[in-house]
Amino acid sequence: MQYKGGSFNILPIDTMHVTTIRDSLFDVTHQFMARNYFTDAVELNQLVKKKRAHSANLRTDIPPIPFTGNPWNKENGNCMLFIGINPRYQSSDNVKSHHEFGPAIESIERFHNGDDSGFNDYLNQRKNYFLQEGMKYGKHFTFPEKKLREHMYPVENPWDCHIQSLDCIPWFSVDAKTFDHEEVCNAYNNSEMFLSYRRIIEEIVKLIRPNMIQLNGGMTRKVFESSYSKNSFSPMKEMNPKKGIHVGWCEIGGHEIPTLSHNFSGYPNAPNGNKDWDEMIANWKKWIN
């Protein structure tokens, strides 16, 4: 893949000689993952919590995730961003023995102790997420994958070259019930930990040139409206308003991108099932054309 910002270097990622491009996305990801994720999460737990909540309940013991899947492998201009609320901590296992969290913690700990191969190993874990058996969190990814394969990218694994997964908030939690949406919007535009993360989003957009964004979750829409859109999104009038389906435009990294948003799929009052998604995508295609 050509990096349009100038020349690039190829760096070793692990002992298997997997390589990645050292470009602007690599650099801002390196900077974000170098942060003290414990203190960032502690601070955010007070910044973005609901007024009556004790905490926003972000995990302080697991590194945030910059992205899920390999952005360097996407087909430039023939791909999309799929952005959820935040990664869910869905296990009762001890974090250090968990098949995803354990290697992440170990790799970032080495990185923070001065061993840059720890960052390279962690980056490889995120890039290969959808290629590793037993890694993908099925409830979150399986149904969107099915419908996006059916309507947009008719390939076996659309996450590989066509769908780049991100989260609005990159820190883990059990749920999103204690997030104050307005406080998240404020922090997204003013807090250094979020500003550091937003540089990753912007560099991904510059790299892959997505032709659409899909926002999964009402809070995700509010944050992206606040941070990236000149105007509020418009309800998709053909759909049940309780589903929270909206359309609009986001300007990220100098690119204006058509954006579809809806309440968090899989929960009540959201687009769920084949009928909802078929109608939503059909109306979306009419809107962008």
* Tens-place pLDDT, residues 120-153: 999 999 999 998 765 665 567 889 999 999 999 9
Residue ranges with strand state E in 23-131: 80-84
Q: In CATH terms, is domain 9-288 a member of 3.40.470.10? A: yes
Q: 215 with 144: CB under 8 angstroms?
A: no
pLDDT for res 80: 99
Q: 172 with 86: CB under 8 angstroms?
A: yes
Write 50-58 long-range contacts (CB < 8 A, 24+).
50/178, 50/179, 50/180, 51/180, 53/178, 53/180, 55/178, 56/173, 56/178, 56/179, 56/180, 57/173, 57/174, 57/175, 57/178, 58/86, 58/169, 58/171, 58/172, 58/173
Residues of the chain with pLDDT > 70: what percent?
Answer: 90
Neighbours of 210 (CB within 10 A): 27
| Tokens 């998240």, residue located | 184
| Tokens 């009762």, residue located | 92
pLDDT for res 9: 36
Lookup: tokens for 211: 């032709």
101 vs 80: CA distance, rounded Å? 26
Residues in the chain: 289
DSSP 243: G
Distance of CA 132 to the CA centre of its chain: 18
State which amino acid sits at residue 63.
Answer: P
Tell me the domain boundaries of the chain. Answer: 9-288
Residue 273 clears pLDDT 60, i.e. is over it: yes
pTM: 0.91
Residues of the chain with pLDDT > 90: what percent?
Answer: 82
Task: Identify the three-state secondary structure at position 166.
Answer: strand
